[in-house]
A and B are shown apart, each in its own frame.
Chain A
Amino acid sequence: MKLMLLTYGIPATGANIDGTEDTLLAEIVETGEWVDRAPLADPALTRTVRVLDGAVGTTDGPFAAVAEQLTGYWLVDCESMGRAIELAALLPGAGTVAVEVRPLMDPSGMEM
């Protein structure tokens, strides 16, 4: 199953700059669970877009004005939610703010 690990942090503190991520990356590339990942640039570079009555409006900064921001994502394909939680716990974000583990929607399904 595919799951997204969303790392949250307080960007200004540099809390996510750490070699731990490289160790984790090496591990899950080797197991064949890694699909994609990327750190996100500082929230100060974010533009939030809204369309109102057909007019595009933008504001500077992230949608939610809170200290803890989304700092990056990991896309993994692993056996279970339990395994994804194991991986999430190894991310530095889990020890500072939090990591969200969110299943992706699957394009297929069974009839009932």
Chain B
Amino acid sequence: MNERPADIGDLLRPLAPQVLGVVVRRHGQFDACEDAVQDALLAAAVQWPVEGVPDNPRGWLITVASRRLADQWRSENARRRRESTAAALDGMDAAPAADVDRAGAEDDTLTLLFLCCHPALSPPSQVALTLRAVGGLTTAQIAHAFLVPESTMAQRISRAKRTVAGTEFARPAEAERTERLGAVLHVLYLVFNEGYTATSGPELHRPDLTREAIRLARQVHRLLPDDGEVAGLLALMLTTDARRPARTRPDGALVPLAEQDRSRWDTASISEGAALISATLARAPVGPYQLQAAIAAVHAEAERAEDTDWPQVAALYRVLDVLAPGPVVTLNRAVAVGMVDGPQAGLNLLATLDSDDRIAGLHRVPAVRAHLLEMAGDEAAARGAYLEAARRTTSVPEQRYLEDRAARLPR
């Protein structure tokens, strides 16, 4: 399924948004340009391993994409040949990319991200378009990642492209910039989570979305080094991803944080994430991603589960609950409060969610309740709550984990 050798793919993907940015700027028509750039990427994936990588890979891709556009436009009806097209054709065989400096190209990556995460698109469409236009993944790869047929994903992407086709290729105005950047970060967070969730079975060969999300977050961080939330999201990804080698057993079963073999955690990733978040917290206005990164860093820095600085975790969740209140934050805070002030305190906090419609039916409520009840020694009630959580989850490995926990307890 991965048509490109890994090294060529690694070379191509960062070039994808740079090339697309140049081509869109030069010729307009985001929709057609995006198709042309995909064609150029595919051509490179076929030709470069055989013929060698050209001296100016970006220029090569821009030239090939521009020729594809020209071919496409020439074959179209003359009626549709507008002035812009004629002008575009004139410049078509110009020297490749001599006019593009590196800073300009990187700038386009961010503009493209804003475009792909346009508020007119639903989150699944934002994710799909981002992975294709900015991530340089093929439609087949994206479809495979989300376990849907290629035709479904192709349709979703082409509709998304049409929806944003009329949007000016420019950075959003300052007034809406924070909100738009929020959407970009949310999309990268969704991509990361999609990749981070443990999979077992025939889905093993899904493309590594976690790596892709981190790569894109790094790029955004490089372009906006002063933005605390960008840095926070990158740090959150790095410290979370560090646990990946330890969080599943060879058979795919989930290992809870408290039982993970911490010697298998990726220490380089933890150090990088922890250093980034402490430097960021010291200088930027605090935000939700930074707080989540700080919490992940506290967990990551404990050598053993029992060394975890729970008062610190509880304090960070308290701030998060003020800054970005929501039932999921309260849920996580209940775990930390249970560790600091005892299980009953955690259960009391959890009880405040009983009437919260936003979280009604979510399996994590009984899962956390079960955990706290087990800590409190009420094994029969804990068993019932684990089983309730197991019934409510729609995840196979989570269900297996919750059923295992229930089975450890007496009836």
Q: Name A's B-contacting residues (CB within 8 A).
A: 1-2, 29-36, 77-79, 103-112
Contact of A79 among B123, B157, B256, B394 (CB under 8 A): B123
A31 touches B394 (CB 8 A): no
B203 touches A107 (CB 8 A): yes
Contact of B395 among A29, A78, A106 (CB under 8 A): A106
| Distance (whole angstroms) from the CB of B236 to the closest CB of chain A | 14
9 further A-B contacts with Cβ under 8 Å, apart from A79-B123, A109-B401, A112-B364, are: A32-B152, A106-B395, A107-B396, A108-B198, A108-B199, A108-B397, A109-B395, A109-B397, A110-B196
| Distance (whole angstroms) from the CB of B396 to the closest CB of chain A | 5
Alpha-carbon separation in the docked complex, A74 to B148 (Å): 14
Alpha-carbon separation in the docked complex, A34 to B147 (Å): 13
Within 8 A of A (CB), among B86-128: 122-125, 128
Given A32-B159, A34-B152, A77-B146 in contact, is the A112-B399 Cβ separation under 8 Å? no
B394 touches A106 (CB 8 A): yes
Residue of A nearest to B146 (CB): A77
Q: Indicate the member of A31, A77, A108 with the most B CB atoms within 10 Å.
A: A108
A-B contact pairs, 12 of them (CB 8 A): A1-B394, A32-B128, A32-B153, A77-B124, A77-B146, A77-B152, A79-B122, A107-B397, A108-B395, A109-B397, A109-B401, A112-B256
Given A33-B152, A111-B255 in contact, is the A105-B395 Cβ separation under 8 Å? yes
B152 touches A109 (CB 8 A): no
Given A32-B157, A33-B152, A79-B123 in contact, is the A111-B254 Cβ separation under 8 Å? yes
**Interface readout for B168-186 with A: 1 if CB under 8 Å, 0 if not?**
0000000000000000000
Residue of A nearest to B257 (CB): A111
Q: Does B247 contact A (CB under 8 A)?
A: yes
Residues from chain A with a CB closer than 8 A to the CB of B394 are 1, 103-106
Going nearest first, the 3 A-B pairs with the smallest beta carbon separation are A32-B156, A109-B395, A108-B197
Q: Indicate the member of A30, A78, A104, A111 with the most B CB atoms within 10 Å.
A: A111
A112 touches B401 (CB 8 A): yes
B-side interface size class = 35 or more
Contact of B396 among A36, A106, A111 (CB under 8 A): A106
B156 touches A31 (CB 8 A): yes
Residues from chain B with a CB closer than 8 A to the CB of A2 are 147-148
| Distance (whole angstroms) from the CB of B399 to the closest CB of chain A | 7
Q: Does B155 contact A (CB under 8 A)?
A: yes
Within 8 A of A (CB), among B355-392: 364, 367, 371
Contact of B198 among A1, A34, A35, A109 (CB under 8 A): A109
Residues from chain A with a CB closer than 8 A to the CB of B122 are 79
A107 touches B155 (CB 8 A): no
Residues from chain A with a CB closer than 8 A to the CB of B397 are 107-109
Residues from chain B with a CB closer than 8 A to the CB of A30 are 155, 159
**Interface readout for B191-235 with A: 1 if CB under 8 Å, 0 if not?**
001001111110100000000000000000000000000000000
B148 touches A31 (CB 8 A): no
| Distance (whole angstroms) from the CB of B404 to the closest CB of chain A | 12
Contact of A29 among B155, B157, B393 (CB under 8 A): B155
Residues from chain B with a CB closer than 8 A to the CB of A36 are 149
Residues from chain A with a CB closer than 8 A to the CB of B403 are none
Residues from chain A with a CB closer than 8 A to the CB of B367 are 112
Residue of A nearest to B158 (CB): A32
B155 touches A110 (CB 8 A): no
Residues from chain A with a CB closer than 8 A to the CB of B198 are 108-111
Residues from chain A with a CB closer than 8 A to the CB of B146 are 77
Residue of A nearest to B154 (CB): A32
**Interface readout for B139-171 with A: 1 if CB under 8 Å, 0 if not?**
000000011110011111101000000000000
